[in-house]
Chains A and B, each alone.
Chain A
Amino acid sequence: MIGFDIVGFMISWLTLFGIYAILALTLNLESGTAGITNFGKVVFYGVGAYVSATLTAYLILILNGVDVSETPPYGIRGIILLGELGNKNPLLNIGLLVLSLVIAFAVSGVLGYLLTYPILRVGPAFVGFTLLSSGELLRIFLQHYEPVGASKGLMAIPTPFGWIADSRLREVTYLGLVLGLLAVTYVVTHRLVNSPLGRTLRALRDDEIAALCLGKHVPRIKATILFIGSGVAGMAGVLLTYYLTSVNPNMFVPAVTFNVWAMIILGGFGNLKGSLLGASVITFVDRVLTFVTPQLGIAAISPDYLRWVIVGLLIVVVLLVNPRGLLPEKPIRTPAVDVILEEFRGESK
C-alpha cells in the first residue's frame, strides 16, 4: 500500500466516530434506557444538517449583499459565490456554527417532541414505524423542495474553520470541536441515566402500566426524552454538514438509523460506554473499507454492501457470545447506592 495516509485516516475515522457516537449515545438513552423504539433517528439528524446548511448558505450570501432571489445558493453562480465569499470572516463562520447548533437543537428537539407526543400512547412498534415513515416523508419532501436545492441539495457550504489555511490544522481543529461536543453529550447522557430520572426511564421500559399506576406521566416523560435526544441528534447533523460541506436528501435514508441501531446493539443496550465502543467499531469498518477498497482495485464488490455484511456478521457473532452486547447495562449510580452500602457496613460491625 503505497502512500497510505495514516494521519488522514485517523482524522477522518475519529470525526465520523464522533458524529455517530453522539447519535448512538442519544439513541441509547431513548431506546436502550427508556425503551422508546426510535426508528426515525435519521429525521432529526437530517433536519439538523439541513438547518445548518440552509442557514449558513443563505446568510453568507445575504450578509455579503447577494440577492438570493436572483442568485440562490443552489444555483451554479450561488455555489461559486459561496466558495469565493465563504471564508473571509472567521467571526461570521464561527457565529454561524453556534447559531446552527442552537437552532438545530431547537428545531429537531421540538419536532421530536411534537412527532412523538400523540403517538406515544400506542404500542412501541407503532411508534417505531411512524417515525420510520416520517423520515421517508421528510426525504421525499426535501427531494422536491427547491429552496434547499431539491434532489441536488446544497453544496460548497462554508465551514466554521474554513479560514484556517493549513488543511491538516483545519481538520484537526474540526475534530476537536466534534470530540468536544461528544464529550458534552456523554456527560449529559451519563448524568441523566444515573439519576432518579434514569431510574424512572428504566421503570417505564420494564413496565409502562406499573409506572403509570405509580403516577408517572408516561407520554410526557417519553416526549421529553425524545426532545433531548432529537435535539442533540440535530446538533450531530450540524457537525455532519460542516464536515462534508454539502447536504442532499440521499444522505438521510433509513439505513442511517439502522446503522446507529447496530452500534447500540453491538455495544450493549443501555450501556453508554458500549455505544462509544459500537460507534468506534462500525465507523472503523466503514472507514477502512472506504480507504482500502479503491487501493485494492476491487470494483466488483461495492464497499457499501461489504459494510453491511461485515456489520451483520459482527452483530451475530457478538450476540451469540453475549446476547446483551459487548458491554451489558450497569446498575444506576445514585447516592442511594452509598446509603445502602453504609447500612450494610454498619450492620456487619
Chain B
Amino acid sequence: MSSMLEVRDVAKYFGGVKALDGVSLTVPEKGLIGLIGPNGSGKTTLFNVITGFYVPDRGSVLFRESNDLVRIDGLNPNEVFKRGIVRTFQIPRLFNSLTVLENLLVTPLGQRGENPVRALLRNSWSAQERELAKKAIELLKAFNMLRYANSKISELSAAHIKMLETIRGLMTPAKLYLLDEPAAGVDYLMAKELFTYVRRLRDEHNLTFFIIEHRLEILMEYVDYVYVLHNGKLLSEGKPQEVISDPKVIEAYIGV
C-alpha cells in the first residue's frame, strides 16, 4: 500500500531537550495507525512538526499529493490544512462563542461569504451557505449529534467535544487526520463509540488516521499498526499484539 505520510529522520530540540531525535515512520493510505509512548516522549511534538507549528531541526515530512510525495515541513499550519491534513488537540480547541453548527461551518475553505466585499451581498453567498448547512446537518445526524446543533460548546460532554473536533474536518475534503488523545477524559463506552466512528470513517470515506492515545486497551482494539516513541526516538513498531508484548515497550511504560 502506498504511503500517505512519511516522516524521515525528524529531529526537534528545545534547548537541551531532545523532544524528537531522528524519528522515521510511515502512515499508509487508509491506515488506522496508533502512536503511543510514555508522557513526554515526543508524540505531540511530532504532530506539531507535521502540522507546521514547528520547523524540524533535521529531517523532512512528506505528504501524498495525487501520485507524488511532497515535502510539507516548513509550511505554515494553514497551508498544511489546505493540503489535506486535519488535526485535533490534546486539549480540544473549539470556538466557544459559536454553536455546534457554526463550529462546523467555520471549516470549509473557499466560502464566498468570507470575502469582505461578497459578504455585503447576501445573494452571492446564501445558496452556498445553505448547502454547507445541509452538509453539516447530515454530519451531525450521522454522528448522533443533531440535537446539539444550536448548543454552545460549554453545554457538550467531553466525548461530544472530542467528536465535534474530529468531524469538523469532514466538512472539507481532508485526507489525513491526526488525533491527539481522542479518548482522554471520555468514559469507556463513549470512547469505544468514538473509535468505532473513526473506523467507519476510514472504511466509508477512505480517510487515513494517525492517533495518539494513552488508553492502550481501547486503541489496540482498533488500529492496524502502532509506533512507540520513547525519549524522542522510535522504540518499537508493529501490529498491536506484537507491540504490547514487546519487552522494551513494557519496560519503557513501567520504567517511567
- The answer to whether residues A212 and B97 also contact, given A191-B120, A334-B113, A339-B134 and a CB cut-off of 8 A, is no
A335 contacts which chain B residues (CB < 8 A)? 126, 129-130, 133
**Interface window among A96-104, A197-205, A294-302:** A197-205
Greatest chain B CB density within 10 A among A192, A213, A214, A336 is at A214
Segment 112-141 of B: residues with Cβ below 8 Å from A: 112-116, 119-120, 122, 125-126, 129-130, 132-134, 136-137
Docked Cα-Cα span, A343 to B87, in Å, equals 30
- The answer to whether residues A340 and B133 also contact, given A207-B95, A213-B77, A213-B87 and a CB cut-off of 8 A, is yes
Does any Cβ of A come within 8 Å of B3's Cβ? no
The residue in chain A whose Cβ has the minimal distance to the Cβ of B109 is: A215
Segment 193-246 of A: residues with Cβ below 8 Å from B: 195-200, 202-203, 205-207, 209-218, 224-225, 228
Structural contact, B101 and A336, CB atoms closer than 8 A: yes
Structural contact, B116 and A228, CB atoms closer than 8 A: yes
Structural contact, A202 and B116, CB atoms closer than 8 A: no
Bin chain A's interface residue count.
Answer: 35 or more
Docked Cα-Cα span, A82 to B96, in Å, equals 56
B82 contacts which chain A residues (CB < 8 A)? 215
User: Chain B interface secondary structure, helix, strand, loop or mixed?
Assistant: helix
Does any Cβ of B come within 8 Å of A292's Cβ? no
Does any Cβ of B come within 8 Å of A332's Cβ? yes
Docked Cα-Cα span, A215 to B52, in Å, equals 12
Docked Cα-Cα span, A18 to B96, in Å, equals 33
Does any Cβ of A come within 8 Å of B150's Cβ? yes
A123 contacts which chain B residues (CB < 8 A)? none
Structural contact, B87 and A195, CB atoms closer than 8 A: no
- Count chain B residues whose beta carbon lies closer than 8 angstroms to a beta carbon of A: 46
Structural contact, B87 and A200, CB atoms closer than 8 A: no
- The answer to whether residues A210 and B116 also contact, given A195-B125, A196-B111 and a CB cut-off of 8 A, is no
Docked Cα-Cα span, A192 to B109, in Å, equals 18
CB distance from A176 to the nearest CB of B (A): 23
- The answer to whether residues A210 and B93 also contact, given A196-B125, A215-B81 and a CB cut-off of 8 A, is yes
Does any Cβ of A come within 8 Å of B51's Cβ? yes
- The answer to whether residues A195 and B132 also contact, given A213-B51, A213-B87 and a CB cut-off of 8 A, is no
Does any Cβ of A come within 8 Å of B199's Cβ? no
* Residues 157-195 of chain B, each 1 if its beta carbon lies under 8 Å from chain A, else 0: 000000000001000100000000000000000000000
Partner of A210, one of B94, B111, B119, B129: B94
CB distance from B101 to the nearest CB of A (A): 6
The residue in chain A whose Cβ has the minimal distance to the Cβ of B85 is: A213
B98 contacts which chain A residues (CB < 8 A)? 199, 202-203, 206, 332
Docked Cα-Cα span, A196 to B109, in Å, equals 11
Does any Cβ of A come within 8 Å of B26's Cβ? no
Does any Cβ of B come within 8 Å of A331's Cβ? yes
B119 contacts which chain A residues (CB < 8 A)? 191-192, 195-198
Structural contact, A206 and B132, CB atoms closer than 8 A: no
CB distance from A132 to the nearest CB of B (A): 26
Docked Cα-Cα span, A214 to B89, in Å, equals 12
Docked Cα-Cα span, A198 to B82, in Å, equals 21
Does any Cβ of A come within 8 Å of B149's Cβ? yes
Greatest chain B CB density within 10 A among A215, A224, A331 is at A215
* Residues 55-75 of chain B, each 1 if its beta carbon lies under 8 Å from chain A, else 0: 000000000000000000000
Structural contact, B106 and A199, CB atoms closer than 8 A: yes
Does any Cβ of A come within 8 Å of B105's Cβ? yes
Does any Cβ of A come within 8 Å of B39's Cβ? no
Does any Cβ of A come within 8 Å of B102's Cβ? yes
- The answer to whether residues A336 and B133 also contact, given A191-B119, A192-B120, A215-B109 and a CB cut-off of 8 A, is yes
12 A-B pairs besides A212-B77, A215-B79 with CB distance below 8 A are A196-B112, A196-B119, A199-B106, A203-B98, A206-B95, A214-B81, A215-B78, A228-B116, A332-B102, A336-B132, A340-B101, A343-B137
In the complex, 29 of the A-B residue pairs with CB atoms within 8 angstroms, ordered by the A residue number, are A191-B119, A192-B119, A195-B113, A195-B119, A200-B114, A202-B95, A203-B95, A203-B98, A209-B93, A210-B93, A213-B51, A213-B86, A213-B87, A214-B86, A214-B107, A214-B168, A215-B79, A215-B109, A215-B172, A217-B78, A218-B78, A225-B116, A329-B97, A331-B102, A336-B105, A336-B129, A340-B137, A340-B150, A344-B149
The 6 closest A-B CB pairs, nearest first, are A196-B113, A336-B133, A195-B119, A210-B93, A215-B81, A339-B133
